[in-house]
Amino acid sequence: MPDPLLVEAEPYPYGFDPARTALLIIDMQRDFVEPGGFGETLGNDVGLLQEVVPPLRDVLTATRKAGVPVIHTREGHLPDLSDCPPSKLNRGAPSLRIGDPGPKGRILIRGEYGHDIIDELAPAEGELVIDKPGKGSFHATTLDESLRAMDVRSLVVTGVTTEVCVHTTVREANDRGYECLVLSDCVGSYFPEFQRVGLEMIAAQGGIFGWVATSAGYLKALQ
Ligand code: TIU
């Protein structure tokens, strides 16, 4: 086995073998990142999520160049909403509910313009795109099977939102035996406080869910 690459991270350096690693980009969809989608209908300022795009774009470019696989996820539902539990459909007080017509098509419905990934981070040919009905990327998807088939044990985790789909995914991955490195400037929240505390929670207690590093640290290790 080759020596692992080392990333300066909290709570201590993260070692990874690029041959057994994947970059996971969670839910960088128009519905969360751009005005007129699900995120905004929940009352959120989507501007905060847009700060993630430039560093994540650099990470995506370098990761592709290094030959490390990239996996994208999208949160959303079938047009008949048969995969959306009533608990999710009825939760909160959104101005538009999942499935309602919005300016970017039906809110969070697969195949609609708003449901798709933003142009800046569009999946390349051959990259895996996992459609998920929940917040976690493992729940009701084939992600675990795909990662095992690729012999991946280590995940570099990016995307939105830090305390919702990123956290749920990291917790699911951790329980399944994956090691997760979360890139602090490549994950975003509508709430600055949740961003800070969400990242702290991952690396606390000796790395209870995983590690946290900046994209600069990851890029340096990858060179
Ligand atoms: N509401 C919120 O912060 N996030 C979500 O509903 N989905 C994801 O995080 N992708």
What pLDDT, in 10s, does the model give residues 109-148?
A: 999 999 999 999 999 999 999 999 999 999 999 999 999 9
Which of 31, 104, 165, 186 is an active site residue?
Answer: 165
Give the pLDDT of residue 91. 81
Cα-to-centroid distance, 165 and ligand 1 (Å): 6
* pLDDT band at residue 2 using 50, 70 and 90 as cut-offs: confident
Q: Model pTM?
A: 0.98
- Of the chain, the end-to-end C-alpha distance in Å amounts to 19
Atom of ligand 1 nearest to the CA of 189: 3
* pLDDT band at residue 37 using 50, 70 and 90 as cut-offs: confident
Tokens of 217: 């640290």
* pLDDT band at residue 101 using 50, 70 and 90 as cut-offs: very high
Q: What is the ipTM of this complex?
A: 0.98
Give the pLDDT of residue 1. 67
Annotated active-site residue 27? The verdict is yes
Residue having the nearest C-alpha atom to atom 7 of ligand 1 = 165
Which alpha helices (H) appear in the chain, and where do they start and end?
30-33, 38-41, 47-50, 53-65, 86-89, 143-149, 167-175, 192-207, 215-222
Mean of pLDDT values over 181-199: 98
Annotated active-site residue 175? The verdict is no
Cα-to-centroid distance, 166 and ligand 1 (Å): 9
Residue having the nearest C-alpha atom to atom 8 of ligand 1 = 165
Cα-to-centroid distance, 19 and ligand 1 (Å): 30
Which of 84, 132, 135, 186 is an active site residue?
Answer: 132
Annotated active-site residue 132? The verdict is yes
Mean of pLDDT values over 144-173: 98
- CA dist 151 and 149 (Å) reads 5
Tokens of 19: 């041959």
Mean of pLDDT values over 187-192: 97
- CA dist 29 and 37 (Å) reads 9
pLDDT above 70 covers a percentage of the chain that reads 100
**61-83 tens-digit pLDDT:** 999 999 999 999 999 999 999 99
Ligand 1 first shell, C-beta below 6 A: 27, 32, 42, 75, 135, 160-161, 164-165, 190
Mutation test of ligand 1: which of 30, 40, 73, 75 has the most ligand atoms closer than 8 Å to its C-beta? 75
* pLDDT band at residue 96 using 50, 70 and 90 as cut-offs: confident
